[in-house]
Amino acid sequence: MRRDVFQAIADPTRRAIITLIALQAMTPNAIAEHFDSTRQAVSKHLKILTECELVKQEHQGREIYYSLEIDKMKEIDIWLEQFRRIWESKFKQLDHLLSTIKNERK
| CATH code, 39 | 1.10.10.10
String of b and e for 34-47 (b: at least 16 CB within 10 Å)? eeeeeeeebeebbe
The one-letter amino acid at 101: I
Task: Write out the residue range of the structural domain in which residue 44 sits.
Answer: 5-105
pLDDT at 14: 96
pLDDT at 31: 96
How many separate domains does the chain show?
A: 1
- What's this model's pTM, rounded to 2 decimal places? 0.76
pLDDT per residue of the chain (106 residues) written in tens, 0 to 9: 567 888 889 999 999 999 999 999 999 999 999 999 899 999 999 999 999 999 999 999 999 999 999 888 888 899 899 999 999 999 999 999 999 998 888 7
